[in-house]
Amino acid sequence: MSNEQMDIIGIGAAIVDVFADITDEDLRRLNMPKGAMTLIDTDASKDLLGQINVHTSTAGGSAANTIAGTASLGMSSGFIGKVANDPFGDIFANDLSKMNIKLFGQPLNNDTPTGKCIVLLTPDAERTMNTLIGAAAFITPEDLDAEVLKQTKVFFAEGYLFDSPQGVETFFKACDMVHAGGGKVVLSLSDSFCVERHLNTFNQALAGPVDMLMSNDAEAKAMFGGASIQDRIAAMKQKNIDGVITRSADGAIIVLSHEVTEIAAEKVDQPVDLTGAGDQFAAGFLSGVASGKPMENAGRRGAVAAAEVIKHVGPRPQVNLQDLIKAANLA
* Residue 239 confidence (pLDDT) above 50: yes
Find the mean pLDDT for residues 238-264.
94
Compute how many other C-beta atoms are within 10 angstroms of the C-beta atom of residue 149.
25
- Higher local confidence (pLDDT), 116 or 123: 116
* Residue 1 confidence (pLDDT) above 50: no
Catalytic residues: 279
Find the mean pLDDT for residues 3-9.
86
The model's pTM is 0.93
* Residue 142 confidence (pLDDT) above 90: yes
The secondary structure of 49-100 as a DSSP string is HTTS-EEEEEEE-HHHHHHHHHHHTT--EEEE---BSSHHHHHHHHHHHHTT
* Residue 226 confidence (pLDDT) above 80: yes
Identify whether 36 is part of a domain.
Answer: no
Quick one: pLDDT at residue 318?
85
Of 62-71, 133-142, 257-266, the least confident: 257-266
Find the mean pLDDT for residues 101-118.
94
Per residue in 286-310, pLDDT (tens digit) is 999 999 999 999 999 999 999 998 8
Closest to 91 measured CA to CA, from 73, 64, 71: 64
Write down the mean pLDDT value for the chain. Answer: 94
Per residue in 147-190, pLDDT (tens digit) is 999 999 999 999 999 999 999 999 999 999 999 999 999 999 99
Identify whether 44 is part of a domain.
Answer: no
Per residue in 16-27, pLDDT (tens digit) is 999 999 999 999
Identify whether 311 is part of a domain.
Answer: yes
Identify whether 98 is part of a domain.
Answer: yes
Output the domain CATH number for residue 227: 3.40.1190.20
Identify whether 131 is part of a domain.
Answer: no
pLDDT band of residue 275 (cuts 50, 70, 90) is confident
Identify whether 34 is part of a domain.
Answer: no
Domain residue limits at 248: 6-13+61-112+136-327
Domain count of the fold of the chain: 1
Identify whether 319 is part of a domain.
Answer: yes
